[in-house]
Amino acid sequence: MTPEPRWTPESPWTPVTEDDPLDGLRAALAAADCGYEPRSGYQDHCWILHPVHDDGVRLRWDQVLSREGRRLADWPGTLSYLVFEGVAGADDLDGPDPAELDRATLARLVGHLARSGPLGPDTPCGGAQPPVMNRPGEEVAARRGRLGDALAHNDAMPDFRFPATWWAADGSWLVLSDVDLSATEVFGTTALIEGLLADPELDAVRRPRIAETLDG
């Protein structure tokens, strides 16, 4: 019996064939169980923290941590739910979601990515789910599409709506939402990263890469 496709055909981002090299990333994506984090090749990077809400009011992570006199800058680990362990009332908050961005934050990020390149919303993209989400023996589940159709792709997906790793086909930027974390890592030009860090609608911070944190 042929297994049901992971992603429905209604999405404007279309499935790739198994021989698509995925812009030179296929081997790296297949080896990255929870999502691919590049070691080099980009001018800069930052993290977008997945939103936290208290009765509909968005809070920055440091606002939550300040309840216990703590700061994110002092946290030695990766950016998961563990950041908020021991914080009073943290279990009653809405978020942060693991594994993927909420729609509003995704829309904001897509806007920055579109402004960072000459093709804008027509920028060709690739996206792939991590091997940990695959069935045994399944190839990398990947798609291609326009950056401008990213939200439509998100809206078409019932589960894990956006891929863990997605990137510009020309290699100008790459985005990682590791399935074990509650923050999204963005790699790109200095101008792109500085724009994300300066955006008041995003809770974007400078933090070490996953590999640096785990090795440290």
pLDDT, residue 6, reads: 45
- pLDDT tens column, 18-46: 999 999 999 999 999 999 999 999 999 99
pLDDT for residue 103 is more than 60: yes
pTM of the model: 0.92
Q: What secondary structure, in 3-state letters, does 140-202 show?
A: CCEEEEEHHHHHHHHHHCCCCCCCCEEEECCCCCEEECCCCCCEEEEEECHHHHHHHHHCCCC
Spatial distance between the Cα atoms of 71 and 52, rounded to a whole number of angstroms: 15
Helices (runs of H) and strands (runs of E) counted in the chain: 6, 10
How many residues are recorded in the chain?
216
Helix (H, G, I), strand (E, B) or coil at 82: helix
Spatial distance between the Cα atoms of 33 and 23, rounded to a whole number of angstroms: 19
Helix (H, G, I), strand (E, B) or coil at 126: strand
